[in-house]
Amino acid sequence: MPRTDYVIDEMISAKSIAARIEALAKDIEAAFSGTEKLVVVGLLRGSFVFIADLVRELDLNVEVDFLEASSYGDGMESSREVRILKDLRGEIAGRDVLVVEDIVDTGFTLSHVVRFLESRDPARLRTIALLDKPSRREVDIKADWTGFEIPDEFVVGYGIDYAQRNRNLPFIGKVRFVE
């Protein structure tokens, strides 16, 4: 059973996130300049807020698609078995693709998704994660762009949940369990 006796301390403000996304968008525009179309793939559910803010900063011809992968269920531990629960609607063969992830923790999700999408022969496939917890990594993978490196804290907000709660917080918060 998920605990309910916790408080959330702000870790990264909405303003800091917005400023970082503006800078990341510039880097992505430069990397994909001249692309006919960039397919921006959000990993559900955690990336829904990040992708919404990111694509609105991108001055590129963008198509938005979603993929749902899950390894955590409602728990706090990765099952290490990533399942694709919902596939893309569009084709990505020969296209430029940007995979948008909220957080890279063990790395199982992102590495599985990259392998899954690479098998469809996109022209270029790049990845971006808002948050990275390098100290938790079990699979050798790093997103091409990262918003913030964070310590091994349990975070929620800006799309990220604890037992499906708190995704709607406008900032990234740190969960502190209280006795």
Side chain identity at residue 103, one-letter code: I
105 catalytic? Reply is yes
Q: Which residue, 64, 60, 59, 55, is CA-closest to 21?
A: 55
Binding site for ligand PRP (CB under 6 A): 43-46, 70-72, 78, 101-110, 161
Name the residue with the smallest CB distance to ligand PRP.
Answer: 46
Render 20-84 in DSSP notation, one character per residue. HHHHHHHHHHHHTTT-S-EEEEEEETTTHHHHHHHHTT--S-EEEEEEEEES-TTSSS--S--EE
Nearer to ligand PRP by C-beta: 107 or 173? 107
Chain-centre distance for alpha carbon 82: 15
CB of 113 to ligand PRP, least distance (A): 8
- The active-site residue, picked from 105, 132, 140, 152, is 105
Nearer to ligand PRP by C-beta: 37 or 86? 86
Nearer to ligand PRP by C-beta: 107 or 147? 107
CB of 30 to ligand PRP, least distance (A): 26
Active site residues: 105
